[in-house]
Amino acid sequence: KAGVTQTPRYLIKTRGQQVTLSCSPISGHRSVSWYQQTPGQGLQFLFEYFSETQRNKGNFPGRFSGRQFSNSRSEMNVSTLELGDSALYLCASSMGDSGNTIYFGEGSWLTVV
C-alpha cells in the first residue's frame, strides 16, 4: 500500500512568485491536512480538507490556500512568496475520523530567495 506522496520534494522560488504543492494521500483516506515546519520549530497547522471541503483552518494569511479533488488528492498554493515562507511543508492523510492515525508524507522543502 503506497504511502502519502508529496511533490515536488525540493524547490527554490523567488520572492513574489507563487508555488503549488501536491499531495496524494493513502488510498481510501479522505482527510488531507497541511502543515508548515521551520527549522527547530513545531508543526504549524495550515488547513485540513475532508471530502473536498475545508474542515479546519489554521492562522495563516490568505496567501496560503488549498483544495482537494474528488480523488482526495490535494494541492496547496502560496502566492506572493516571502522569505519567511521558506520551510518544510508536510501533508498528512487519514480516514478522517477522531481515532484515526494520520500519516505524513516526506514533505516539500521550499526555499524562497
Partner 1 sequence: GQNIDQPTEMTATEGAIVQINCTYQTSGFNGLFWYQQHAGEAPTFLSYNVLDGLEEKGRFSSFLSRSKGYSYLLLKELQMKDSASYLCAVRARSNYQLIWGAGTKLIIKP
Only segment of 15-23, 60-68, 70-78, 99-107 that touches partner 1 (CB under 8 A): 99-107
Q: Which three cell numbers stand for residue 96?
A: 478522517
CA 35 and chain centroid, separation: 6
Give the residues across from 44 on adjacent strands.
36
Among 43, 65, 67, 79, binds partner 1 (CB under 8 A): 43
> Least CB distance from residue 88 to partner 1, whole Å?
8
Min dist. Cβ of residue 99 to partner 1 (A):
6
Query: Which residue type sits at 73?
Result: R
Taking the C-alpha atoms of residue 55 and residue 50, their distance in angstroms, rounded to an integer, is: 6
- Residues 77-96 contacting partner 1, CB under 8 A: 90, 96
53 is a contact residue toward partner 1 (CB under 8 A): no
Q: Is 25 in the site for partner 1 (CB under 8 A)?
A: no
45 in contact with partner 1 (CB under 8 A) = yes
Residues 6+ apart with CB under 8 A from 76: 20, 21, 23, 34, 46, 47, 64, 65, 66, 89, 91
Helices (H), 1-113: none
Residues in the site for partner 1, rule: CB under 8 A?
Answer: 31, 33, 41-43, 45, 48, 50, 55-56, 90, 96-99, 101-107
